[in-house]
Structure 1
């Protein structure tokens, strides 16, 4: 069967099938995590990002190729989770640009879309690293461009593009030593291959269909709240999305600024998401209707919520600073709240929040300056993407661990200016040593360490330092590796599988090993990790 053109019906099936193919194989992608830790989540992150794209295609009733591609782009942008999800959203964003205004797709158009996808993704990453999903995307796009004028059949074209991508994927361990040592290929690149194969299968007539119930179970739930105003000058919190619009978000923001305050107007290529407090929601909606179709309209009367905005009979003051932190575990959440974090997003290992989750959290705090603490290297890109989409004054402090986030908050001083605070916080996070104690989910060999499934591992700075069978001994050995004579504090955050007595017994052993160093135990309640260790 030879296919020279794709119409919108096949294009939509290709997007949906690509998401389904990835979802069916997400655990295969998860298992390619370099470290054999129980938080490999690349497959989950990419799958949730793709599902958000499909949700937007369905909800927007996208029918033309242009609409379908734009909906996939905007959906993935808002639903992007983890570094792999953010990069995937940028690939879809560039792919959408390549299909803009097209009524049908042939090989040259498809090749051009692949090229745009790769260029957009590379530009979005500050320091692109070869041997990742970027390499697989780039070499696939290069093969696609090479086939222009040589191949007319889209099925044959995609088969050759996928072969080139798989070849690049096989060579990722040659480009990244960490992959070679772990004996795996890049997980994000593997996920991209599943996406391409799913699209090809749909075009060839092989559909991997999930039921509506499956989609409903997998849809990303966004829970939004409203800003707490110091006084209710504008009584209706009005939210909606304008779709099928060519207007720039900043242009529409200027149009509606006279109707109220607390505005958040963000958008991607074909939609604008609007939040405004106003006394005239009807007039705002009328203005919006002049520029496109409206969906997801929500209007709340905030005067009924007045009691929630008053503390001890006095109106709340707008804070100079608000903090948003990402963490898992009830105890760690409590620690952040005790350090005046305004909003804690539940997430981290295995549960990376999406760009839209972070935007929703931004909408819940009212500080003039908002500082986001990702506390995980796999969340920093999504946090930065949320910052770029929002018009508020936001800083993303690149904390990669929970101890870094806590230490940064401890040196924060509200009396000094923002830049000085950021400088002090960045300095302290560079001086905090973090350790993690967890278990292996598979047999492997890393850095000449033979690791068996269920072994206990001590990890620090991206390196497996110690391996053993006993949690306490592995923790002690890990600290021997990272504690120096310059350190005087060790903090143990014990997880949900460790009780207080066991943690205190370990602290007594550590006090014997590290005489003169203060040892403190703190309930973290985090899953998967027996202990998180902070050394200062």
Structure 2
């Protein structure tokens, strides 16, 4: 029987939780409230955990704090979707509490759970009750009660899971959309699955899964130098600072970042006062290590001679001129990608409705962008938190425009004025995205109930700015009803983007019908090539 949680045991708990989550992700995906294909909660949480596993597998298991730090870093980097970002923040606070500990008691674990809840609530601008946050909060309260009653780790975990189960059952009473759909909160259930995986490892019944056990070792890839550019600094230097001295402050870390910028470029300092990952291109890697040694212990040091590696990159993309401001956008579909390229967007991250990119993928695009001032368009409400998390990783000045659809991103990019400064352009872009209405047509993936109305599986849905406003079995009827809800006398332009599974003939037919009905409006037809949505409409 385990009296305290060691690093080795906690590693086993994390791997068990990741495997159990992977096995349950389909049932979690099925809990989605809206009957539309999207960045499924189960998939996003599982991918976030898999990223965490990559770090945990190579962590120093002699200390539970080191395993916690690896769990946090991997989850922060790999966070996908809102559920993944919140999970990563739960682990971030958890790791902060355990940092430096060799083993953890029941009380230590309980306090770590509470710090995780505190971090997650701070990360969400408008927390909602009836979500993963509520379940996490009540589970942490149960853990603290058990710790106060001097329970052992097994008793505490049983109580935590029981409390999580009871709270999860109540989530439909807290969120009306859950009640109407007849489901519990998917993120909350995902968190409960993770803790059940923890408990199985404690009981000696750890869940195993080949996908988890065979997860690749972490690859440190924060390089922002495009292939083919002249290499100004010879050595790509990467390492972690752990067991950071208690006297170190955030101001010290900021000064450390500034010192690195004086001896090199492509500087990235990721983490907090408990674990810091450093990346820098420099001629003097030893000096970078000396700077870091003042703060704590160094681990996983990696120094590569980029000039030796340069030969194989000579024929890649040409160098790009440094700009005052760069734009990063998330996009999917050949048509939308080409549209953003035509508008001179600097970096495009592949992703969208059913494939939310990780915070690390967005972070790489930010670092690669040829400017110190970067604007990011997530173009999906489920990617905004990951984009904001990626912005925090960067030493650049990054601002996330909260665009929720591709038409908003396009309108925002078009608002750019090269004669204005960064802050003025941000204001223009944020105003611009509010001037466009987005309509989408897709098929219902399951039967559901919305606003008292039964939606059948396979029916076409008309979605206006995220809300289902109509449904029908006929495409023409759905288009007609959706545009009726979208278009007003104050509008003048209707743009139709057709998807990857729509023929050009059908797209032209729909466009002709729209032009006939809205003869006083400019109606444009463009190939979006987007998955999931047969048609996307932008009305301005």
TM class by shorter-chain length?
over 0.9
* 2:299 alignment counterpart: 293
* 1:493 alignment counterpart: 497
Q: How many matched pairs?
A: 530
Contact 1:79–1:220 (CA<8 Å) still a contact in 2?
no
- Which sits farther off after the overlay, 58-67 or 34-43? 58-67
1:416 and 2:420 correspond: yes
Tell me: CA distance 1:296–1:36, structure 2 relative to 1, closer, same or farther (3 Å). Answer: farther
Shift of 1:174: 1.4
Tell me: CA distance 1:125–1:263, structure 2 relative to 1, closer, same or farther (3 Å). Answer: same
Tell me: CA distance 1:126–1:413, structure 2 relative to 1, closer, same or farther (3 Å). Answer: same
* 1:276 alignment counterpart: 280
* 1:244 alignment counterpart: 242
Contact 1:433–1:482 (CA<8 Å) still a contact in 2?
yes
Shift of 1:331: 0.9
Residue-by-residue CA offset, 1:115-153 (whole Å, 9 max, x unaligned): 111111111212211111100001111122222343523
Aligned ranges 1:37-436 → 2 under 5 Å = 37-211=36-210, 215-216=213-214, 225-227=223-225, 232=230, 234-236=232-234, 238-246=236-244, 249-281=253-285, 284=288, 291-301=297-307, 304=311, 316-436=320-440
1:471 and 2:470 correspond: no
> CA–CA distance in 1 between the matches of 2:113 and 2:212?
30
SS in 2 for 1:171: helix
1:531 and 2:529 correspond: no
> CA–CA distance in 1 between the matches of 2:148 and 2:224?
54
Shift of 1:370: 0.5
Shift of 1:456: 1.0
TM-score (norm 1): 0.92
Shift of 1:237: 5.3
TM-score (norm 2): 0.91
Shift of 1:385: 1.2
SS in 2 for 1:118: helix
- Which sits farther off after the overlay, 63-72 or 281-290? 281-290
Contact 1:320–1:369 (CA<8 Å) still a contact in 2?
yes
Question: Any stretches of 5+ residues in structure 1 without a counterpart?
Answer: none
SS in 1 for 2:326: strand
Contact 1:62–1:71 (CA<8 Å) still a contact in 2?
no
> CA–CA distance in 2 between the matches of 1:229 and 1:527?
31
Tell me: CA distance 1:205–1:392, structure 2 relative to 1, closer, same or farther (3 Å). Answer: same
Tell me: CA distance 1:243–1:451, structure 2 relative to 1, closer, same or farther (3 Å). Answer: same
Contact 1:492–1:520 (CA<8 Å) still a contact in 2?
yes
Contact 1:244–1:270 (CA<8 Å) still a contact in 2?
yes
Shift of 1:361: 0.7
Residue-by-residue CA offset, 1:487-531 (whole Å, 9 max, x unaligned): 111111111100111101100111122221121111111111111
* 2:30 alignment counterpart: 31
Tell me: CA distance 1:90–1:310, structure 2 relative to 1, closer, same or farther (3 Å). Answer: closer
Tell me: CA distance 1:310–1:149, structure 2 relative to 1, closer, same or farther (3 Å). Answer: closer
Shift of 1:344: 0.5
Question: Any stretches of 5+ residues in structure 2 without a counterpart?
Answer: none
Contact 2:343–2:414 (CA<8 Å) still a contact in 1?
yes
Shift of 1:254: 4.0
